[in-house]
Structure 1
């Protein structure tokens, strides 16, 4: 399927999305969503590194592995697609240097949530500073936008990512935002400067990030246990892959390989598919939090109704 194709926006589909988004509220519970973005990581290398926390999330929820081709396999375009639901041919971002002007026409998930449900609390805590341009854009920005200050003497970004994850744990524990997006960067750094995706340093970075993911998941579990009225969903994704020697931006299978993990009450465990991709993340967050879908979106919610086309179960 051409992932640039606009999904049809029928009344029936909209009604089904609203029905799915109301599942947690119908049970008298408040929906919360944490989206973890890991820059430049290949799922095949997550498997090779035996990254137990990421593999557990995959096993406990839905895993979709797909290609973003012919979309540009660079961070700026891809994280924009994650946070808007539209591909690069629409939002027009093709590199890593941009301003907030594209988000006036194609607002981020933060803006869409603010407009539809201004009562929601939204946080963005990231290692890469350009994420703040996205989250801080538009008429209705994220309530909290934080770029982690680079930690001194941190050549592989592991300490800076650890500080990002610590801030995320604090946010979940103390403030429990309704939607939180975090970005971790060290795997991409290892891909560029540590010898590429075939290197031991790339696998080491995945192992370290996996530990940080485990801390975030543990914070969510503790909060959910303490507040049974809250229903938490964890989403995990990446923006692009890496070549064996390191680098991305082209259209090879390694560079365009991405994945989405969705674990929560609306996602059955042990499901694998190739159906969902980066453009589906914002529509999924909107559906989970009871906000209407954006008609301009190229993606659609990953919440699958029972009568939908079957997807494989592991």
Structure 2
């Protein structure tokens, strides 16, 4: 039988001219799609204007030709100002945002304190959703050893700068190890995160000076080697790489970062595949009206650091869902909803209102709104805002709630808002609450309860309401001091009107402590770069809320609560709230036994800070107000 079949085949082949067009040896194989991979490059402390510009009159730095191989858009560090996402422009919170797609209100990293992220990293998403292996190569080892310490089982290749040979720099070591991986034909990594640190070191050493400019071409050469290695892999191994680069923060002119100045906030996102990037990368959303500062609001219209993780996942084939709660939107693929922001309009009492706003791509036809992952509304594709009306009910009993809103369009992935806090409960009798204060000072004059310390005399200006006077503290003339001892282990609450006319550095607004160290016992309200925070320590540990916006020359109402049972504090500035807790901080008593206005408890910290502050209607409670009481007190003053 086999013999007959062979003869028949031979005859047919001869008749066809002895050519078998179906032969597996001669016919070309159908082309296969390139395998997509990602290299995410983070350059610590890289300032936007050294590598990119949107002003034709400004030429980027001539010693950065490899950065010019990218197409670059603006980005920003520090989160959305005056929201729960705002955070210090420090490396810990910034890299946590970049590697989670969420801001500080979700990952909970607020400073360089080596605290592990509280949610899921890019590497866990890669393994669990796409079964893709990832590597983390960090010159600043804390990224791996601290912030991603609980994510190590999801990182398939890890390199730490601290493990470098003694005669090799951290960046040189990391790049060498990455190049080994990229040159390995058997490499199984689909995503490589690379962190370089030497630009930041130069920024701390000399700010915008010569050593920073000298370091730039060295880092640029590293970038060139990485890009060349990626392009070689694409040519050899049928791979298609998306290479992104970004920074965690900029630097002030003298060097350093952590505040909210433009120089510290303004960074960039670059891509080697501009043709694959969507409209959000190519052009910003309209300015985000959060601060009243035109330049800052304009920059916040561009993609934030939280867009990096969704972009990586989208390039590899994954669309974000409401459950992911990504606060940035992908910069590749079709553009759905993005720039989702939530603001509580009435957030204390039996009812509450939350206003949600967003932008969306041109092809959106319908949109779903989610509250904490639960579908609450379906809208047409033209709407760009929605009001959530909430009330005490069986599903929402009295209590405090942290809410996040996701907008999922019929195209693109889901983008989630900042966190807003509402408190539902029976109305508070605010006049009775005010009457229960331990100390109430109108501050329209100095009476026997408060003293003026200094060589000059106090002055009084127009307060926040017509006919009201306010205490002005010009530190060159002195400061006001209230003798008082805060009980050990007790709760304490403070509420007052405040206006900042002028200051330099990070002076105390209201304090009973020596602010030379944050762990010193006591509390303070330091202000820097247009934002104030509530800070406390017990001599060993400290808590710091996120800083909330205080525009120069504008009155704001501040209410802050220290709760020893929660071991931390809550800060309310107008209608914004931030909380911070530190295990072990059960007291903010200090040895100075005063509360000082416009100065630290020690009486000397603000001497050279050019302080010019105003205060009115000060209240002190010798207990921790409830969340509902604090919010109701704020509303009373803001609406009266």
Q: Fold match, TM over 0.5?
A: yes
1:32 is the counterpart of 2:37:
yes
Q: Distance in 2 between matches of 1:237 and 1:305?
A: 22
1:290 is the counterpart of 2:317:
yes
Cα distance, 1:97 vs. partner?
A: 2.1
- Could you tell me which residue of structure 2 aligns to residue 72 of structure 1? 88
Relative to structure 1, is the Cα distance of residues 305 and 291 closer, same or farther in structure 2, using a 3 angstrom cutoff?
Answer: closer
For structure 1, which runs of at least 5 residues remain unmatched after alignment?
Answer: 1-25
Q: Distance in 1 between matches of 2:335 and 2:327?
A: 23
- Could you tell me which residue of structure 2 aligns to residue 45 of structure 1? 50
Render the CA deviation track for 1:23-50: whole Å, top value 9, x for unaligned: xxx9722110000000001021222254
Identify the match of residue 141 of structure 2 among 111, 125, 129: 129
Identify the match of residue 211 of structure 1 among 209, 212, 221: 221
Relative to structure 1, is the Cα distance of residues 43 and 227 closer, same or farther in structure 2, using a 3 angstrom cutoff?
Answer: same
Identify the match of residue 142 of structure 1 among 149, 152, 155: 155
- Could you tell me which residue of structure 1 aligns to residue 515 of structure 2? none
- Could you tell me which residue of structure 1 aligns to residue 99 of structure 2? 83
Cα distance, 1:303 vs. partner?
A: 1.2
Cα distance, 1:203 vs. partner?
A: 1.2
1:276 is the counterpart of 2:303:
yes
Cα distance, 1:98 vs. partner?
A: 2.2
Q: Distance in 2 between matches of 1:125 and 1:251?
A: 28
More strand by share: 2
1:261 is the counterpart of 2:262:
no
More helix by share: 1
- Could you tell me which residue of structure 1 aligns to residue 210 of structure 2? 200
Q: Distance in 2 between matches of 1:96 and 1:125?
A: 19
Identify the match of residue 96 of structure 1 among 90, 112, 123: 112
1:150-299 correspondence runs (5 A): 150-152=164-166, 159-174=169-184, 175=187, 177-193=189-205, 195-196=206-207, 198-228=208-238, 230-264=239-273, 266-267=276-277, 271=282, 273=284, 275-293=302-320, 295-299=324-328
Identify the match of residue 120 of structure 2 among 107, 111, 118: 107
Q: Secondary structure at the match of 1:138?
A: helix
Is the Cα–Cα contact under 8 Å of residues 76 and 302 in structure 2 kept in the other structure? Answer: no
Q: Distance in 2 between matches of 1:227 and 1:214?
A: 20
Q: Distance in 2 between matches of 1:207 and 1:169?
A: 19
**TM-score (normalizing by structure 1):** 0.79
Q: Distance in 2 between matches of 1:27 and 1:240?
A: 41
Is the Cα–Cα contact under 8 Å of residues 38 and 239 in structure 1 kept in the other structure? Answer: yes
**C-alpha RMSD of matched pairs (Å):** 2.5
Q: Distance in 1 between matches of 2:152 and 2:222?
A: 32
Is the Cα–Cα contact under 8 Å of residues 133 and 156 in structure 2 kept in the other structure? Answer: yes
Cα distance, 1:139 vs. partner?
A: 7.9
Q: Which moved more, 1:233-242 or 1:295-304?
A: 295-304
Q: Which has the higher contact order (CA 8 A, sep 6+)?
A: 1
Cα distance, 1:68 vs. partner?
A: 2.7
For structure 2, which runs of at least 5 residues remain unmatched after alignment?
Answer: 1-30, 52-59, 82-86, 285-300, 337-360, 364-640
Q: Distance in 1 between matches of 2:362 and 2:219?
A: 34
**TM-score (normalizing by structure 2):** 0.40
Q: Secondary structure at the match of 2:112?
A: coil
Render the CA deviation track for 1:225-276: whole Å, top value 9, x for unaligned: 0012x111100000000011000000000001111112236238x9464531
